[in-house]
Every structure is written in C-alpha cells, then in structure tokens.
Amino acid sequence: MQHNWKTIIEPFKIKSVEPLGITTREDRLRVLEAAHYNLFNIKAEKVLIDLLTDSGTGAMSAAQWGGIMTGDESYAGARSYYNFEREIKGLTGFDEVIPVHQGRAAEKILFGVIGGKGKYIISNSHFDTTRANVEYSGAQAMDFPAKGALDFDKPAPFKGNADIAAMEKFIREKGAKNIPLCVMTVTNNSLGGQPVSMENLKGVQALCLKYGIPLFLDCARFAENAYFIKLREKGYAQRPVREIAEKMFELADGAWMSAKKDALVNMGGFLAMNNKDWSAKARQMLILTEGFSTYGGLAGRDLEAIAIGLREVLDENYLHYRIRSAAYLGEGLLKHGVPIINPPGGHGVYVNARKFLPHIGPGQFPAQSLACALYLEGGIRGVEIGSLMFGRRDAGGNFLPAAMELVRLAMPRRVYTQSHIDYVIEVFGWLAKNKKGIKGLQVMEAPAILPHFSAKLKPVK
C-alpha cells in the first residue's frame, strides 16, 4: 500500500550549518537607525532570516562541493568548461555556449551586440538589470504583461504570460526591423515570480516567426517555470520536468541565465544561442570584459558546480519541495489577512504593502516601511519593490509614487526549513494585528542612480 503522507519535508539532510544572527529588538532598532532605514546597509550577521534575494544565496549539494574540488583551473580549454558546455547544450539545444560571471554580464554583452538607439526590445517583463542594460545600449525596453498580471488579488495559473496581441500591435507600429529581440522572462520576476505557460511561449514563438524576430529566454528560473507547467497546464502532468524544460528552450533561438538562481550556485551564468554571427561578436566582448571564452569570468570550479546544479534542479522531489514551500508561506500570510500577489510565486512571496498599510500615504513609502517593520520586529529582511526602487522623481527631486508597493520575500534555495517559514508567518501575524503602529518614512538623501541601494530615510513624525 502506498501511503499519502501530507507533511512536505525538505528532501535533503544537512551536512554543514551556519549560525543565524540572533539579536534583540533593541539591537535591531539601533541597527535600523544606523542604517538609515535602508536594509541594504545592514550587516548580514544582524539578520535572522534573510529573504532579500534568492540569487546566489542557495546551499550547494555535497555533489557540487565535490565538483568544486575537482574543478579544472586551466586558463584555456579546461575540462570543467566542457562539462559546463555539454550540460547546457544538452538542456537547451543551443550550439554556442558562452560562460559569464552572472546574468547581467550576459545582458551587457548581448545588448552591446544587438541593441542601440532606435531599437526596441519586447518582453513579458524585463527584469531591472535587463531593462538597464537595454537602455544603456540606447534601445528601449517594452513590457507586455498579460491582462490580469496586475490584478494581484485574483489568482490565475500563468500570470507571467505575455500579452501577445499587444505585442503584435506594437511590432506593426514600430516595424519588425527595429525590434532585434523578444525576451520571455521565465518565471516573471518583476511581476511576482509568476510562470509563463507553454501555450503562451508557443504563441510568442509563432508571433516572432511571423515577423522574423529572434526569441530568447531570460531563464534564471527555468526549472521552477517548467514545474509550474507540469502542475498547472493541461497535458503536462505526466511529462518529466526535464522534458518540459527542453521543450521551452526548443521554442527559443537563445537564452541567458543568471546561474545564481536555478543552477543552484553562488555565482555564474551563461549566454547561449545558435546565431553564429551574434555569438562571434559576443565572444569578442566577452574577452574584452569577462575573460577568455572557456571561462568568462568564472573559476573552473564554478563551471563544474553549475553543470551539476543544472541537473540537480530538475529533480522533481526538489521542485515539489521548492514550489510547495513558497506556497506554504503565501498561504500562511493569507490566513493572517496579509495581501499578496496571489498565487505565490516560484521563488517567493510578494506582499502588497499598499493594501496592507492603507494608513501610510503613497508619498511615505509603504513597502519600505513594511520591510523595516519586518526587520525591527522579527529580524527578517525582505526587499522593497516600490517608489524607492523605481526611483521616479519630479523636477524638485521628490519621489513619485510607483504603480506598486510590494515587499518581496525571496526564498534562498535549500537554506531554510519549515520552522523558519513558520516563524516568518508568526511575525506577519503579529504585524497584521499591530499594523497601525507602523509609521511611514521620508527620504533624507538619495543619489540619482539606483537610489534604493543607498538612500537614507527616517520615520515621519
């Protein structure tokens, strides 16, 4: 007889541990004041549960640490590079594999090759660094999220999808020759870590074929996306996740990846494609800024760990635990009446701070205020995605309210256990009861570029 146990357990045992930063509320108040209410300025050792990002913060497996020891550090033609290349070719089917030190390096190189003034890059949603690199090249980054993606309260299975009709309208307006690339970000990080369906990917592919526009995946979280397809899309329940992932890549002409997410490593990335002209130009840029084409800014051991991580991440027991733990956090918050982007994403939960804290006005950074309260009361660090991060300002330098005020609770991979998550839920329960006491913030000083990293704030009187 097959038991159907309900408890979802972490599908690993722990071989190596690191102490958490345990502090008192008084400590944290001092830390917060010294950091000017900016959580980027806090030493990590003063954080208890760090949900700032899921990028590069995961735990590697014993097999990956083994790979670290056997990594080949040859400058050119290292064995580890060929392991890396073989793994990526096997998964994605792309012939040209270019290692880079992280995702944004791939973006800088790619848009250096294909971007430029007068061009447009179209996407379901560009991640911030993607947008910044597109714009740095002189091109414009245009987002076409699916209808309903911004209706945070209403669950839907594939809120990461692109609005294909809106994309087509734009292509006709601007002319396909001015659009060198379409990018599908899987999962869609900017809008809640929501997945893209295979049907939508196929639709985008058909659109791109019709207009002769190459399609790339920004595949930082491709395995989480593939698992959501297995769970939620008709016809995929019986398919192995690896096969679904391969199918996703088959629909595209290329991809880039921040390996710091679904390759389960602390540093690394790649750019891969079939276009020989683009890849030759990209390798020239690579040698200029990252390193020789068989290491691209990484150590041989990093390449080895990525090759192993790309296999491990497609283990369905791992993915089941991964997606289930984000859902568990989301469900826990909803039970306390905390509004989130519903359903929870693949790599974490996004709290709708504007809705949670209606007493904090739009000019008083509700999401940053919530992120600070979460740290003060519970030692938990999330990240603001709101007026401070978007950083739009009027002529007088005053911040303008953003379209959304979110706090992202991103979950590092294989790092925290269910009791850590229970603790986060408990802290939110307390905050929900005592939220009237959370005060808004005002900016004292902030730089012009990327203000959220170094802005100084204080509570409003």
> What amino acid positions are annotated as catalytic residues?
75, 127-128, 218, 220, 261, 452
Three-state SS annotation for 77-111: CCHHHHHHHHHHHHHHCCCEEEEECCHHHHHHHHH
CA dihedral 421, 425, 430, 432 (to 10 degrees): 150
The window from 122-130, 149-157, 272-280, 309-317 that contacts ligand F0G (CB under 6 A) reads 122-130
Angle in degrees, 0-180, between the axes of helices 79-92 and 300-312, rounded to the nearest 10: 30
Q: Which residue's CB is nearer to ligand F0G, number 76 or number 449?
A: 449
Q: Which residues in the 205-234 window bind ligand F0G by CB under 6 A?
A: 218, 220
Q: Which residue's CB is nearer to ligand F0G, number 261 or number 435?
A: 261
Q: Which of 130, 137, 200, 369 binds ligand F0G (CB under 6 A)?
A: 130
Closest-CB residue for ligand F0G?
A: 103
Which residue in 254, 240, 236, 239 sits closest to 110, CA to CA? 254
DSSP-derived letter for residue 219 is -
Per CB under 6 A, does 260 bind ligand F0G? yes
Tokens of 236: 């995929």
Residue 106 Cβ vs ligand F0G, minimum distance, rounded to whole Å: 8
Per CB under 6 A, does 53 bind ligand F0G? yes
Which residue in 104, 103, 187, 206 sits closest to 146, CA to CA? 187
Q: Is the dihedral of CA 358, 360, 365, 367 positive or negative?
A: negative
Q: Which residue's CB is nearer to ligand F0G, number 268 or number 440?
A: 268
Per CB under 6 A, does 185 bind ligand F0G? yes
Q: Which residue's CB is nearer to ligand F0G, number 129 or number 274?
A: 129
The window from 58-66, 70-78, 101-109, 393-401 that contacts ligand F0G (CB under 6 A) reads 101-109
Per CB under 6 A, does 413 bind ligand F0G? no
Which residue in 264, 191, 163 sits closest to 221, CA to CA? 264
Q: For 351-364, give one letter per residue: b (16+ CB within 10 A) or e.
A: bbbbebbeebeebb
Cα distance between residue 301 and residue 262, in whole Å: 17
CA angle 363, 361, 29 (to 5 degrees): 85
Beta strand 406-410 pairing with 348-352: antiparallel
Q: Is the dihedral of CA 272, 277, 283, 285 positive or negative?
A: negative
Residue 74 Cβ vs ligand F0G, minimum distance, rounded to whole Å: 25
Q: Which residues in the 267-306 window bind ligand F0G by CB under 6 A?
A: 269
Per CB under 6 A, does 194 bind ligand F0G? no
The window from 124-132, 371-379, 392-400, 418-426 that contacts ligand F0G (CB under 6 A) reads 124-132
The window from 97-105, 160-168, 284-292, 362-370 that contacts ligand F0G (CB under 6 A) reads 97-105
Q: Which residue's CB is nearer to ligand F0G, number 23 or number 129?
A: 129
Residue 45: count other Cβ atoms within 10 Å of its Cβ: 10
Per CB under 6 A, does 103 bind ligand F0G? yes
Per CB under 6 A, does 127 bind ligand F0G? yes
Q: Which residue's CB is nearer to ligand F0G, number 200 or number 364?
A: 200
Which residue in 336, 293, 243, 373 sits closest to 97, CA to CA? 293
Q: Which residue's CB is nearer to ligand F0G, number 185 or number 364?
A: 185
Residue 298 Cβ vs ligand F0G, minimum distance, rounded to whole Å: 12
Residue 429 Cβ vs ligand F0G, minimum distance, rounded to whole Å: 26
Q: Which residues bind ligand F0G (CB under 6 A)?
A: 53, 55, 102-104, 127, 129-130, 185, 189, 218, 220, 258, 260, 269
